[in-house]
Every structure is written in C-alpha cells, then in structure tokens.
Amino acid sequence: MRIAVLNGPNLNLLGSREPAIYGRTTLAEVDARLSDVARELGIDIECMQHNGEGALVDMVHALRGRAHGVVVNAGAYSHTSLALRDALSGIALPFVEVHISNVYAREPERRHSMLASAALGVVVGLGTHGYELALRGLVHELRRREADA
Ligand code: DQA
C-alpha cells in the first residue's frame, strides 16, 4: 500500500512560521516521523510539498495509479480551492484532511474547508501529531475496506 502526504503553501516554513500556532517541528521532522510510522505499518509513503495551487493539482493527478490514499494539508488553499477538491475527487482516492491548528478556533475565513465534504476524515488542532493520526486512520480504513472486499 502506498500513501501520499501532500502539503500546501507555507508549510515548508514549519518550525519557524508562527510557532505559537504551528509549533517548532519542521516539515522535514514531520516527514521523518511519518516514514517511521509507515515502516511500522508496513506501507510506503511519499511526502511532497508545493506552494502553488496548480502544482498541487498536478501532483494530485500524478498520484493516479500510484497511490491508494492521500493525507493532505493544503494550507490556505483548503479554504479556497475548488480546483484542489475537484482534483482529489477526480482521482477518486480516499483522503484525510489535516490542519495543525484548530482552524475552527481562529479567524472566520479559516472555518470553512473546500476539501472536507469530499474527505474520508479530518484531523484538526492536534499539532503536527495530527499527520501521524491521519496516516494511521487512513491505513486502518483502507485495510478494513480491503478485508471487506
Ligand atoms: C493550516 C491552517 C490554514 O488556515 C493555514 O492557512 C495554513 C495551515 C494548519 O495546518 O493549521 O497554512 O492548514
């Protein structure tokens, strides 16, 4: 099983970006932790980050036939990008949306997600640990579906 982990704009700044909101863990550290979890779960993961909306859409398209599911933190595009939701729906892979911060406790413009209605699940507000929870939850669900098939 192969899972893609997709990060959107400004998440390359994790570790130094608004640490009171996003913490001190870098994206490289998040990716390293996810690799350990993937090894434990016996799956493959590929971690990607891009700042551009079009590039993220292209990355999603490139997952067709390569991945079984996606963990995605689309950053600010989560709140605005119908194109990204269409791309994720278009490749028809289950995905879990992640937000490091509790977007529902922040500014009103962060309280709506364009992606959530198409997501398998959403993990919000648990810091960078949320990526690991999303990965474990996604793999658990994919395995359950496999067993049921
Ligand atoms: C974020 C929340 C978004 O509102 C914000 O634009 C981000 C990060 C989060 O992980 O908490 O870039 O997705």
- The tokens describing 35, both together, are 């690799």
Q: Which of 37, 60, 40, 36 is nearest to 48 (CA)?
A: 60
pLDDT of residue 114: 98
b/e for 88-104, b at 16 or more Cβ within 10 A? beebebbbbbbbbbebe
The ligand 1 site (C-beta within 6 Å) comprises 10, 73, 75-76, 78, 99-101, 103, 110
Per residue in 49-87, pLDDT tens? Answer: 999 999 999 999 999 999 999 999 999 999 999 999 999
Mean pLDDT (whole number) for 89-100: 98
Pairing of the two strands 69-73 and 95-99:
parallel
Ligand 1 geometric centre to CA of 48 (Å): 16
- Beta bridge pairs of residue 72: 6, 97
Ligand 1 pocket test, candidate residues 84, 101, 112, most atoms within 8 A of CB: 101
Task: List the residue whose alpha carbon is closest to atom 13 of ligand 1.
Answer: 75
- Band of the pLDDT at 15, cuts 50, 70, 90? very high
pLDDT of residue 137: 98
Q: How far apart are CA 17 and CA 85, in angstroms?
A: 26
Query: Rounded to a whole number, what is the distance in angstroms from the first to the last CA of the chain?
Result: 15
Q: How far apart are CA 83 and CA 105, in angstroms?
A: 26
Query: Residues with catalytic annotation?
Result: 22, 99
pLDDT of residue 149: 86
Ligand 1 geometric centre to CA of 17 (Å): 11
Ligand 1 geometric centre to CA of 100 (Å): 7
Task: List the residue whose alpha carbon is closest to atom 6 of ligand 1.
Answer: 76
Percent of the chain whose pLDDT exceeds 70:
100
**Angle formed by the axes of helices 82-91 and 53-61, nearest 10°:** 10
- Band of the pLDDT at 25, cuts 50, 70, 90? very high
The pTM of this model reads 0.97
Yes or no: say if 7 and 48 are a contact pair by the CB < 8 Å rule. yes
Mean pLDDT (whole number) for 9-29: 98
Residue recorded with tokens 């919000």:
124
